[in-house]
Structure 1
Amino acid sequence: MIVPAPVNPPPEDVVDGEEEEEEEEDGVASKVDGVAGEAKKKKKKKPKKKKKGSTVVVKQSEPPRVGVSLLFPSGVYPEGELQEYKDDNHYRTTSEEMRARDRAIDEDPETTYTNIRRGAEVHREVRAYAQKVIKPGMTMTEIANVIEDASRALVEEKGLESGIGFPTGLSLNHCAAHYTPNAGDNIVLKHGDIMKVDIGVHVGGRIVDSAFTMSWADPAYDELLKAVKDATNTGVRESGIDARLGEVGAAIQEAMESYEVTLGTDTHKVKCIENLNGHSITKYSIHGGPRGKSVPIVATGDQTKMEEGEYFAIETFGSTGRGRVIEEGEVSHYAKMHDPVQPLRLTSAKSLLKSINQNFGTLPWCRRYLDRLGETKYLLALNHLVNAGIVQAYPPLVDRKGSMTAQFEHTLLLRPTVKEVVSRGDDY
Structure 2
Amino acid sequence: MSEANPTVKVADETTAPIENLTLKETAPDVNENQTSSDKKKKKKKKRNNISKIENYFPKGVYPEGEWMDYHQDFNLARTTDEEKRYLSRDLENQDHWNEVRKAAEIHRRVRKNVEGKIHPGMRLTEIADLIENTTRKYTGAEDLTKMEDPQSRGIGFPTGLSINEIAAHFTPNKGDKTVLKYEDVMKVDFGVQINGNIIDSAWTVSFDPQYDNLLTAVREATNTGIKEAGIDVRLTDIGEAIQEVMESYEVEINGETYDVRPCRNLCGHNIAPWRIHGGKSVPIVKNGDNTKMEEGEHFAIETFGSTGGGYVYTEGECSHYAQRDNDYPPPSAPSANKLLETINKNFGTLPFCRRYLDRLGEEEHERQLEYLVKQGYVQDYPPLVDIPGSYTAQYEHTILLHPNKKEIVSKGDDY
- Structure 2 length as normaliser, TM-score? 0.85
- Aligned-residue RMSD, C-alpha: 1.6
The partner residue of 1:232 within 222, 237, 241 is 222
Instruction: State the Cα distance separating 1:93 from its structure 2 match.
Output: 2.6
In structure 2, the CA distance between the partners of 1:63 and 1:127, relative to structure 1 (3 Å rule), is: farther
* Residue of structure 2 in register with 1:114 after alignment: 98
The partner residue of 1:355 within 342, 366, 374 is 342
| AA in 2 matched with 1:79 | E
Instruction: Map Cα deviations across residues 233-286 of structure 1 (whole Å, 9 max, x no partner).
Output: 000000000110001000000000100011354210000000100001000000
* Residue of structure 2 in register with 1:50 after alignment: none
Instruction: Map Cα deviations across residues 7-39 of structure 1 (whole Å, 9 max, x no partner).
Output: xxxxxxxxxxxxxxxxxxxxxxxxxxxxxxxxx
The partner residue of 1:189 within 173, 180, 200 is 180
* Residue of structure 2 in register with 1:90 after alignment: 76
In structure 2, the CA distance between the partners of 1:388 and 1:188, relative to structure 1 (3 Å rule), is: same
Q: Does 1:381 align with 2:375?
A: no
In structure 2, the CA distance between the partners of 1:63 and 1:199, relative to structure 1 (3 Å rule), is: farther
Answer 1 or 2: higher relative contact order, Cα 8 Å, separation at least 6: 2
* Residue of structure 2 in register with 1:293 after alignment: 280
Structure 1 or 2, whichever has the larger Rg, is 1
Is the 2:170–2:383 Cα contact (8 Å) retained in structure 1? yes
Is the 2:243–2:285 Cα contact (8 Å) retained in structure 1? yes
* Residue of structure 1 in register with 2:257 after alignment: 267
Q: In structure 1, what is the Cα distance between the partners aligned to 2:90 and 2:354?
A: 41
Q: Give 5+ residue unaligned stretches, structure 1.
A: 6-60
Instruction: State the Cα distance separating 1:220 from its structure 2 match.
Output: 1.9
* Residue of structure 2 in register with 1:45 after alignment: none
Is the 1:101–1:416 Cα contact (8 Å) retained in structure 2? no
Which SS does the other structure have where 1:425 is aligned? coil
Q: Does 1:126 align with 2:117?
A: no
In structure 2, the CA distance between the partners of 1:98 and 1:304, relative to structure 1 (3 Å rule), is: same
Which SS does the other structure have where 1:133 is aligned? coil
Q: Does 1:205 align with 2:189?
A: no
Which SS does the other structure have where 2:92 is aligned? helix
Instruction: Map Cα deviations across residues 336-395 of structure 1 (whole Å, 9 max, x no partner).
Output: 012452442211111011111100000000000000001122111111110011100000
The partner residue of 1:171 within 162, 166, 169 is 162
Q: Where do residues 15-414 of structure 1 align in structure 2 (5 Å cutoff)?
A: 65-86=50-71, 87-95=73-81, 96-107=83-94, 109=95, 112-157=96-141, 158=147, 159-217=150-208, 219-288=209-278, 292-414=279-401
| AA in 2 matched with 1:215 | S
Is the 1:281–1:311 Cα contact (8 Å) retained in structure 2? yes
In structure 2, the CA distance between the partners of 1:90 and 1:169, relative to structure 1 (3 Å rule), is: same
Instruction: State the Cα distance separating 1:131 from its structure 2 match.
Output: 2.3
Is the 1:63–1:129 Cα contact (8 Å) retained in structure 2? no
Which SS does the other structure have where 2:187 is aligned? strand
| AA in 1 matched with 2:121 | G
In structure 2, the CA distance between the partners of 1:229 and 1:104, relative to structure 1 (3 Å rule), is: same
Which SS does the other structure have where 1:224 is aligned? helix
Instruction: State the Cα distance separating 1:92 from its structure 2 match.
Output: 1.8
In structure 2, the CA distance between the partners of 1:250 and 1:4, relative to structure 1 (3 Å rule), is: closer
Percent of residue pairs identical? 54
Is the 1:64–1:129 Cα contact (8 Å) retained in structure 2? no
In structure 2, the CA distance between the partners of 1:64 and 1:409, relative to structure 1 (3 Å rule), is: farther
Q: In structure 2, what is the Cα distance between the partners aligned to 1:145 and 1:251?
A: 36
Give 4+ residue runs of structure 1 displaced > 3 Å after superposition: 61-64
In structure 2, the CA distance between the partners of 1:258 and 1:94, relative to structure 1 (3 Å rule), is: same
Is the 2:16–2:63 Cα contact (8 Å) retained in structure 1? no
Which SS does the other structure have where 2:179 is aligned? coil
In structure 2, the CA distance between the partners of 1:343 and 1:153, relative to structure 1 (3 Å rule), is: closer
Q: In structure 1, what is the Cα distance between the partners aligned to 2:174 and 2:128?
A: 12
Is the 2:182–2:207 Cα contact (8 Å) retained in structure 1? yes
Q: In structure 2, what is the Cα distance between the partners aligned to 1:113 and 1:265?
A: 48
Which SS does the other structure have where 1:113 is aligned? helix
| AA in 1 matched with 2:17 | V
Instruction: Map Cα deviations across residues 401-427 of structure 1 (whole Å, 9 max, x no partner).
Output: 111000000000101121001000111
Is the 2:139–2:154 Cα contact (8 Å) retained in structure 1? yes
Q: In structure 2, what is the Cα distance between the partners aligned to 1:371 and 1:4?
A: 33
Is the 2:18–2:109 Cα contact (8 Å) retained in structure 1? no
Is the 2:264–2:284 Cα contact (8 Å) retained in structure 1? yes
Is the 2:124–2:161 Cα contact (8 Å) retained in structure 1? yes
Is the 2:169–2:381 Cα contact (8 Å) retained in structure 1? yes
- Structure 1 length as normaliser, TM-score? 0.83
In structure 2, the CA distance between the partners of 1:279 and 1:64, relative to structure 1 (3 Å rule), is: farther
| AA in 1 matched with 2:68 | Q
